[in-house]
Structure 1
């Protein structure tokens, strides 16, 4: 779905919650193949039984990818991703966990060099099925400002 949302339209404090997605073993295997991260923490069920969590842990980068991907439901031709800041893995994610993301508009700032755009910060709080936060980060968007008329 396309929806034009200008910098001026974003309101600090506005929130939205995504749908959920359950992490499967296939997700872990595919992600390991794509990234080359075959660490035993993700791939070796028997070895993991000897570790603190007693089971395989989902890759942090997979948790991040799913958490961010869940937020991508609207194509905004007025904005695009500018990057991510303050990424933290708060709790481990396991096979069978269902994740959803709470998005909160936390900041708006003028661009330092371009007057026609601003930077909108979406704080992402990725949660599991128990409501526990598993990952947080800030997603920066560069967004067109509405044209101002002079006259």
Structure 2
């Protein structure tokens, strides 16, 4: 599967269509920048000495940071470039395992629904099921993302 895709309009999406992201390694900078932007300086994420003695035995990514990394992969693939009008939410989201500093993560995506909207003639609904894994194949995030996507003119 290629890692770079052309922008897709609503009509280009089909149920069962799959996309795969590149991988990226989560760094100290990711942790710090997320804390700075969110204001969440919880010690499980930011204090190595404290976190080493807690449940995970090391610092772990913020749950919202894990979600943000997943959405970043979707946009980085390029198929929503200049065609997405809105992120409309999710029907479900799970974070079954932590993302650790130094993990290399990637995202697999599958279109699970496309829907014409009677209220709009310029766009449609596309729901993409996502699964993010680390370098060991451990699932660290799952969820479906709902997007409002432009129709072709």
- TM-score w.r.t. the length of structure 2 is 0.85
Which residue is equivalent to 1:61?
Answer: 64
Kindly indicate whether residue 89 of structure 2 is the aligned counterpart of residue 78 of structure 1: no
Give the structure with higher Rg (CA). Answer: 1
Following superposition, the deviation at residue 78 of structure 1 comes to 3.4
Following superposition, the deviation at residue 5 of structure 1 comes to 2.4
- Write the deviation string for residues 77-122 of structure 1: whole angstroms up to 9, x where unpaired: 3333332211221211111001101111011122241244210001
Which residue is equivalent to 2:45?
Answer: 42
- Write the deviation string for residues 109-149 of structure 1: whole angstroms up to 9, x where unpaired: 222412442100011111111111111122212123346xx
Q: Do the aligned partners of 1:2 and 1:77 also contact (CA within 8 Å) in 2?
A: no
Which residue is equivalent to 2:100?
Answer: 94
Q: Give the Cα separation in 2 of the matches to 1:76 and 1:22.
A: 23
Q: Do the aligned partners of 1:103 and 1:123 also contact (CA within 8 Å) in 2?
A: yes
Q: Give the Cα separation in 2 of the matches to 1:80 and 1:127.
A: 27
SS of equivalent to 1:70: helix
Q: Do the aligned partners of 1:67 and 1:99 also contact (CA within 8 Å) in 2?
A: no
Following superposition, the deviation at residue 3 of structure 1 comes to 4.2
Which residue is equivalent to 2:19?
Answer: 16
Following superposition, the deviation at residue 4 of structure 1 comes to 4.8
- TM-score w.r.t. the length of structure 1 is 0.86
Q: Given the superposition, is the C-alpha separation of residues 53 and 78 from structure 1 closer, same or farther in structure 2, using an over 3 Å criterion? A: closer
SS of equivalent to 1:71: helix
Structure 1 segments unaligned to the other structure (5+ residues): none
Structure 2 segments unaligned to the other structure (5+ residues): none
Following superposition, the deviation at residue 34 of structure 1 comes to 1.1
Backbone CA RMSD of aligned residues: 2.0
